[in-house]
């Protein structure tokens, strides 16, 4: 036991002498290698990126996104998300945000991302008259007035192609806006006059039948009752297909626009 203690004391003394060396003293190559190895050991407070694989399998990630709100059905959507312990990404029309500021605050407070969806939602104004960036920045200010945060992610009404021309994309990039389209359109907006018995299964099928990739961005709307009815079945079906649910993060932005414009 005494010999073991002596060896430990000698080892500690040698380590202290080594770490106390000045920068002018030489250190062996083997010691440098050991220091590098030690530096590579992960520690609990080291920031970690979202893993691309889990249990040696590629993660399947889905982003639920809701356009045109907030509206009278938004609280029901938020309730469903909370019941399933997931979050989503909401793209707001500025005038609707002004009408329902409490819903905007709730979206953010419950862990969702709140983004921009213009003021007018008018194709001619946004893309022909060229008000896209102006309207997004106005919506951004409205959201900032409500929540204290100024989001930079915008969802172009009707999608970025063909309306978001080179000139408008240049303006958006100069304004530090990011742009997200989608990979799957639920087509929930097309069933406004169709009974739930037909519209809800169709919406669910539109999503689940097209969810094949490892990363999907799904377009829905929180202003339609048929969307609310379909949402629980969509969540269940995506889980059964092995998807994890994520919400947009500005620090982990990835390109998702039809133009494949890397600036956006």
Q: Which residues are catalytic?
A: 67, 221
Burial class (CB in 10 A: 0-12, 13-18, 19+), 120: middle
Asked whether 90 and 65 are in contact (CB, 8 A), the reply is yes
- Residue 170 backbone phi and psi in degrees, to 5: -60, -40
**Angle at alpha carbon of residue 35, lines to 34 and 38, rounded to 5°:** 85
What's the token pair of residue 87? 């979050």
- Strand segments (E) across 22-176: 53-54, 57-58, 60-69, 89-92, 113-116, 153-154
Task: Write the DSSP symbol of residue 44.
Answer: T
């Amino acid at each position: 036991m005494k010999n073991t203690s002596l060896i430990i004391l000698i080892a500690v003394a040698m380590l202290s002498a080594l770490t106390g060396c000045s920068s002018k003293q030489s250190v062996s190559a083997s010691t440098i290698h050991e220091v590098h190895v030690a530096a590579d050991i992960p520690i609990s407070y080291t920031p970690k990126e979202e893993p691309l694989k889990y249990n040696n399998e590629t993660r399947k990630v889905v982003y639920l996104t809701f356009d045109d709100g907030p509206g009278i059905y938004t609280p029901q959507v938020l309730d469903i998300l909370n019941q399933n312990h997931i979050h989503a990404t909401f793209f707001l029309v500025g005038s609707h945000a002004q009408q329902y500021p409490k819903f905007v605050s709730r979206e953010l407070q419950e862990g969702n991302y709140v983004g921009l969806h213009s003021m007018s939602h008018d194709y001619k104004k946004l893309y022909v008259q060229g008000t896209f960036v102006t309207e997004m920045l106005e919506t951004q200010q409205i959201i900032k007035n409500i929540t204290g945060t100024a989001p930079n992610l915008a969802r172009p009404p009707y999608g970025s192609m063909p309306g978001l021309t080179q000139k408008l994309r240049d303006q958006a990039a100069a304004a530090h806006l990011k742009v997200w389209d989608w990979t799957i359109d639920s087509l929930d907006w097309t069933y406004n006059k169709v009974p739930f018995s037909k519209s809800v299964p169709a919406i669910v099928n539109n999503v689940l039948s097209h969810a094949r990739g490892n990363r999907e961005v799904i377009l829905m709307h929180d202003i339609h009752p048929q969307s609310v009815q379909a949402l629980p079945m969509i969540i269940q079906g995506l889980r059964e297909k092995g998807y994890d649910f994520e919400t947009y993060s500005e620090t982990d932005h990835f390109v998702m626009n039809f133009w494949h414009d890397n600036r956006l």
